[in-house]
Amino acid sequence: MVKVADRLQGQQQSPLRAMTIRCQELGAINLAQGLSQVPPPPALLAEGTRDFEHLGHSYSAPEGLPGFREAVADKLKRHSGLSVDPATQVVATVGATGALMATLTALLDAGDGVLLFEPFYSYHLAALRMLQLSPEPVRLTGPGFETTEAALRAAITDKTRAMILCTPNNPTGRRLTAGELAAVSAVAEEYDLLVITDEVYADIYHGVTPHLAPASVGDLGDRTVTIASLGKTFSIPGWRVGYACGPPELMSRIRLAADALVVCAPVPLQELGIRALRLGDDYYQELRQMYERKRRILADGFMAAGLTPNTPEGSYYLYVDCSPMPVATGTEAAELLLERSLVGTVAGEAFYLDQPDRPYVRVCFSLPDEVLTEAADRIGRAGLTHG
């Protein structure tokens, strides 16, 4: 039998994808995976259909089309207050996951420790394990999931070389505050740590306070690689167009890794991405209003069931404490939800290295209103808090 790579030992199918498959088999409503099932901007689709024949269909440079990188730099300036040179500080990637893989490959070595704020996005852990990096959890507890300098320092080991932040957070929807980022900056400076920020939900925030980019706080810009994508903002995750930006000396290495891994991001979709990135403020306001409406629809269903979902500050997820249910774990809660309501969720265990302190499930509300309404009705009628 052919031997497989040691790096895959312990790797299993994502629980998010596993629940998606089960929902397909059972005909259940899938709220588990963040599939972004709302339509992209109609004008973007119309332009793509009209112009696709005339777009570029060969390779771009590994760092991406100049126009795409300029559009990214312009958007970062307008929305996050970051000033980056599109020629030396931006690399187009195959989604944010591609940006993360290129960054980890370029800047860290096998065995290096990477701080993960728990609960974390499960694909961050998968990427670390794939590259034989050592995940080092910083346990945050609900309901606030605040980050403290003491918790950060307690998690540092002699192997620690980096940390991954996700703000707005997946799965909780929490956004890091200026005070928390100041603590991150202090610890990163003292221990000379690379900071990688996943900001794919930066444009989907709830409330009036805009997204706070970690690289804009203190001295973090000198050691931070910001990764993001077009998928969540424009409801085009299947296009797989993302980017990384950061200090030129880091980005030159990331460019080499991105080239070796995938050659370049899809060129015609980079060209259409330029148009998406140049949409005006009205688009973003309507996007946030849409997601606030969808959040309320699904939250009402959980409250009708006797559960209290969190109020996310960003992203399109609810993180639900299922303690009132007759369950001990999030895995049991997800099973009970699937059994009684035919609604698929993802157990909180998917976002932790060790057992969570409570039985959580995460649900996605990036679906059509009528689907969310049906899911909320099923959840509310399911008798979830009864034995």
In this prediction, residue 307 carries a pLDDT of: 95
Residue 208 shares a structural domain with residue 324: no
Last residue of a domain, one of 219, 254, 277: 277
Look up the domain containing 290 and give its range: 6-40+282-381
- The tally of domains found in the chain comes to 2
In this prediction, residue 142 carries a pLDDT of: 83
Note whether residue 321 is domain-resident: yes
In this prediction, residue 119 carries a pLDDT of: 96
The pLDDT tens digits of the residues spanning 186-238 come to 999 999 999 999 999 999 999 899 999 999 999 999 999 999 999 999 999 99
Q: How many residues does the chain have?
A: 387
Residue 203 shares a structural domain with residue 338: no
Last residue of a domain, one of 277, 305, 322: 277
Residue 85 shares a structural domain with residue 233: yes
Residue 228 shares a structural domain with residue 333: no
The pTM score is 0.95
> Domain with 315 in it: what CATH number?
3.90.1150.10
In this prediction, residue 117 carries a pLDDT of: 96
> Domain with 121 in it: what CATH number?
3.40.640.10
Residue 190 shares a structural domain with residue 140: yes
In this prediction, residue 19 carries a pLDDT of: 84
Last residue of a domain, one of 277, 295, 318: 277
In this prediction, residue 78 carries a pLDDT of: 95
What is the C-alpha separation between 90 and 154, in angstroms, rounded?
A: 33
pLDDT beneath 70, residues of the chain: 10, 13
Residue 257 shares a structural domain with residue 175: yes
Note whether residue 178 is domain-resident: yes
Residue 304 shares a structural domain with residue 185: no
Note whether residue 367 is domain-resident: yes
Residue 107 shares a structural domain with residue 166: yes
Residue 183 shares a structural domain with residue 208: yes
Residue 36 shares a structural domain with residue 154: no
In this prediction, residue 97 carries a pLDDT of: 97
Note whether residue 49 is domain-resident: no
Note whether residue 33 is domain-resident: yes
Residue 292 shares a structural domain with residue 313: yes
Residue 157 shares a structural domain with residue 30: no
What is the C-alpha separation between 28 and 375, in angstroms, rounded?
A: 9
In this prediction, residue 36 carries a pLDDT of: 85
